[in-house]
Structure 1
């Protein structure tokens, strides 16, 4: 039954319950049953409304480094144009079709984890939020919309979504820097050779060369956001070693929503004067 039909039925039942006893001689118990039916419909409608969270509150929670699965339910072109840092592209159109990649994200997400959905103004994301609650997720919130986020001038980033069902999100220097300076639990993974790492690397990064990755998976936490990088962009615009490393983790069952590839790599990071350090990987 649609929302509009439920509202109309509520009005009809309420008026019927209120007026008919006067003309039909209904017993009081019939009168009360009709009223209860009307209010049951209204209660069901209220329960299905998504719980709202303001952009300001979300920003404050992110600043406190709370663990939040942030889902952008807009379409690809909208997401690529701009999105909230750390958001996972989770298009409603694909969710409606029960896209396997999106279903896998949900299967690997604990039911008690905080989930925030958003779109432009909260309409598409509201439907997704309701659906997630029906699927058993206990803490689902619907953002007031990216329009409000922009009104507060909170950070936005751009990102390109690559083809394929389970490809990691590629991020640029702006988002990589935002994650680096804003969250202490983001793990930067340098997949270059040990010698390259020792000659200079992003400060705080761990060295796990691509050739050693499969033997060191136990060292990589599944529940943390991970940013993979290598030397820098190649002729096709992507550092291929970092992408390969990210794909290996995805195929090994790591949640791909927690995996990102920094396209610019160490070269772009260093050229902008961002924090780097020298030394072996044991220091």
Structure 2
């Protein structure tokens, strides 16, 4: 009885592991962590079919990693809690620490040879620079993600608008860009574009999901 009960308990724990056992489901979690989304919007962002996207979301829902709400004919998916965001970040950290191919794949995806290719600043350095007026923080995610939650004081300039809106940024301060997470290429591309145009730029060493996990304040916009 004791062994059966223990295995039953572990099987329930394993539901979470099973739900995380797909790169596509991790991608869905990454997108949902930015803001609540519908099945159709997630399908469009990931390039998956509607039925495939829905099937992946049902696995996440059965593991209680996401919640849903209905608005008229649309169903919106959101993370079940900040602990889910923490788990997602931890999975990435463990994989990078223990699987050499994971780190190589990360660097290849980001288009860097190592983490020194693009200057990074941590949370404490960012806050110090902003407080002294030495930096402006730019959120390069799409506007809807910025509106759902962003670093206080950050301005929204989506990456695809950055080149034509660069004049909106003060010319004599450092620009610190951030995006969805530590492994998001948007901030790296933004820093490269800024530097190509003669601007001083760096990226935050993590993104919005890590900021959320750290417990720092988050602002929203209408």
TM-score greater than 0.5 by the shorter chain: no
Q: Which has the larger radius of gyration?
A: 1
**Smaller-chain TM-score range?**
0.3 to 0.5
Greater RCO, CA 8 A, separation 6+: 2
More helix as a share of residues:
2
